[in-house]
Amino acid sequence: MSEGLRIGLAGLGTVGASLLQLIARHGGEFAERCGRPVTVTGITARDRGKQRPVDLSAMQWFDDPVALAQDPGNNLFVELIGGAGGVAETAVRAAIEAGKHVVTANKAMLADCGQELAELAEAKGVSLNFEAAVAGGIPIVKVLREAMAGNEVARVFGILNGTCNYILTRMEDEGLDFATCLAEAQRLGYAEADPTFDIEGHDTAHKLAILTAIAFGTRIDAKAIYVEGISSITPADLEAADELGYRIKLLGVASRTETGIEQRVHPAMIPKSSVIANVDGVTNAVALEADFAAQLVLSGPGAGGAATASAVMSDIADIARGSRVGTFGRPASALKPYKRAAMRAHAGGYYLRLTVYDRPGAFAAIATRMAKHGISLESIVQRRRNPHADAPEHLTPAAPQPVILITYETTEDAIRAALAEIIRDGHIAAQPQLIRIEPLG
Ligand SMILES: NC(=O)c1ccc[n+]([C@@H]2O[C@H](COP(=O)([O-])OP(=O)(O)OC[C@H]3O[C@@H](n4cnc5c(N)ncnc54)[C@H](OP(=O)(O)O)[C@@H]3O)[C@@H](O)[C@H]2O)c1
């Protein structure tokens, strides 16, 4: 058997502790599979005195992650601290500089400086592996980086945040509002105390940025992503979507267009018949459309210690076997500059929920604005404020009425221009709701 892998493990939290448990349980079989034994020789975390669910007595403790990264007692550095621009990144750079392979689950760091780290790793002749950084236990990085080597990818999209998917599923199933479901997600440990990063779509954007780089061979550019979260979605939207044959999911979508690569994160209405529409709760799913492989969909646990540790271990296995591919599926120097397709040029169908004053001419004025911008309507649904009441007797003559419009394909530019004019005309009583319709097979 070849020389063993001696791991320096930085971070003993949810994922780090699970990785230690996984190695304790499957280390022997792993050595048989990969031809190399694996041991964790050095560890670091913030608080040495904290109770951990594993016996650490045989491992050397380091107070400083950078010292662990540089220590000759390990030949593979596994970074499970997290965060961009902090100690995790400094330690990863130090490990690469010291000529060590690195495994990380840190999407924030990769979205921020993945290109630079890839160049550094390749210059030093070491691997930088990050299967766990996208969609937890789903091996999407491996699929894109390796299995898609003979394909041109047209679109990659998915449900990449379990917190948002859990909230939307509960809202839909039980007719509850966003705030109630968010509180429930926090109580169950599915959402952070400060959930902004998840619910406003930024976590999905980090993962999408990584997928885009691998799928399209472009330099990572998280700042170019159009991002919208789920906090404005109401039970009324979910109910209307259901009646119209759709479900609402927070999607990350990257697609090849004539003008460049479009990257967007937003709630989307997707046909109920699509595979991804039926992915519920904290489960994640990623779909790929490619010229030879056609469509692939992978779904599974997008987070959690065990599933994420499983993905980390698959990266460790590649290193144990000496299997190396370019960090983003090709040499970092071959990644092309990212060419952004402007979001305003995005084309698709739209769902609009308008709260229209119930007065003569209001609806005709709205229809005129839409027509002026070349927007055709596929359907119009006027909903009574209280479907169980005998409206209109219960309504005052000018009470605003929810009206739902579904458009045929149009552009973001056109829909935004029409909405701006509709708001200016003063026929609607509240901010309009706009949800993009994503055509999926
Ligand atoms: N949790 C998931 O389901 C999941 C899924 C996919 C990817 N990830 C990624 O995996 C990474 C780890 O996530 P996690 O959920 O395991 O985080 P976590 O539970 O918060 O654990 C973080 C660990 O880092 C340690 N740490 C923090 N600051 C440190 C410092 N300055 N020096 C040394 N150690 C420090 C903490 O020490 P103490 O224990 O002493 O506080 C803790 O052990 C992140 O990049 C995350 O994005 C997580």
Helices and strands (H, E) in the chain, number of each type: 13, 17
Question: What separation in Å is there between the alpha carbon of 85 and the centre of ligand 1?
Answer: 14
Question: What separation in Å is there between the alpha carbon of 14 and the centre of ligand 1?
Answer: 7
Bridge-based pairing of strands 401-407 and 377-382 is antiparallel
Helices (H), 295-345: 305-321
Q: pTM for the complete prediction?
A: 0.94
CB 382 within 8 A of CB 406: no
Identify the sign of the CA torsion 120, 198, 161, 154. Answer: negative
- Which domains can be identified in the chain, with CATH numbers? 5-133 (3.40.50.720), 140-301 (3.30.360.10), 345-437 (3.30.70.260)
Catalytic-labelled residue, pool 207, 223, 249, 272 = 207
3-state secondary structure of 391: coil
Q: Which of 92, 94, 90, 100 is nearest to 126 (CA)?
A: 100
Q: Which of 5, 3, 7 is nearest to 77 (CA)?
A: 7
Q: Which of 169, 154, 124 is nearest to 283 (CA)?
A: 169
CA 133 to chain centre: 10
Pocket (CB within 6 angstroms of ligand 1): 11-16, 44-47, 50, 65, 80-82, 87, 105-107, 132, 136, 303-304, 308
> What span, in angstroms and rounded, lies between the C-alpha atoms of 204 and 403?
31
Question: What separation in Å is there between the alpha carbon of 374 and the centre of ligand 1?
Answer: 50
Instruction: State which of 68, 308, 313 you would mutate to test the pocket of ligand 1, scoring each by most atoms of that ligand within 8 A of its C-beta.
Output: 308
Start-to-end C-alpha separation, the chain: 48
Amino acid letter at 388?
Answer: H
Closest ligand 1 atom to Cα of 133: 7
Residue 428 DSSP code = B
Residue 223 bears catalytic tag:
no
> What span, in angstroms and rounded, lies between the C-alpha atoms of 165 and 249?
7
Identify the sign of the CA torsion 300, 305, 310, 315. Answer: positive
Closest ligand 1 atom to Cα of 16: 16
pLDDT tens for the chain, residues 1 to 441: 568 999 999 999 999 999 999 999 999 999 999 999 999 999 999 999 999 999 999 999 999 999 999 999 999 999 999 999 999 999 999 999 999 999 999 999 999 999 999 999 999 999 999 999 999 999 999 999 999 999 999 999 999 999 999 999 999 999 999 999 999 999 998 888 889 999 999 999 999 999 999 999 999 999 999 999 999 999 999 999 999 999 999 999 999 999 999 999 999 999 999 999 999 999 999 999 999 999 999 999 999 999 999 999 999 999 999 999 999 999 999 999 999 998 888 899 999 999 999 888 998 999 999 999 999 999 988 776 554 444 444 445 567 889 999 999 999 999 999 999 999 999 999 999 999 999 886
Question: What separation in Å is there between the alpha carbon of 17 and the centre of ligand 1?
Answer: 10
> What span, in angstroms and rounded, lies between the C-alpha atoms of 127 and 236?
49
3-state secondary structure of 27: helix
